[in-house]
Amino acid sequence: MIVADTDVLIDALRGRAPAARAIEDLLRSRRLATTAITRLELGVGAQLATQRSAVTALLATMPVLPLDAEAAAVAARVGASLRTAGKAIPMADLAIAGICLTLDLSLFTRNRRHFERIDGLRLVEAERFG
């Protein structure tokens, strides 16, 4: 199972290659999930009824993983460590990373700048599926 970050799901909704193609392949093979954090971000960003409908339809095709107590604790430890090192990242990204680390899942994202700071978090790129 691979976890899709918000940015690649937005790319898929907009039909942008190579992420859109990779999302299609992962959905077809039932290897794609996302997080409750991404669900929140997509929901906040969808301004028009047509956008909300597209987001709802896309999210219905995959499991949405929750931020539970264990993932929150992992995210907090990672966040504190990054802040101490002067490399803090946004809370939403920490929560997504905490979920992935706790479940030992890879993250599909274009936001390497933030996520590559996190030790042990595996990142995948769209080109891998092309």
Q: Which residues does the chain have with pLDDT short of 70?
A: 126-130
Structure tokens, 66: 């929750």
Residue 52: the pLDDT is 87
Give yes or no for a contact between 123 and 106, defined as CB atoms under 8 angstroms apart.
yes
Residue 49: the pLDDT is 78
Residue 127: the pLDDT is 67
Residue ranges in 1-130 assigned as alpha helix (H): 6-13, 19-28, 36-45, 49-59, 69-84, 91-103, 112-115
Residue 117: the pLDDT is 95
CB atoms within 10 A of CB 34: 26
Residue 129: the pLDDT is 60
Give how many domains the chain has, as a whole number.
1
Q: Does 21 fall in a domain?
A: yes
Quote the pTM value.
Answer: 0.92
Q: Does 46 fall in a domain?
A: yes
Q: Does 98 fall in a domain?
A: yes
Residue 17: the pLDDT is 86
- The domain of 43 spans 2-124
**Domain containing residue 104: CATH number:** 3.40.50.1010
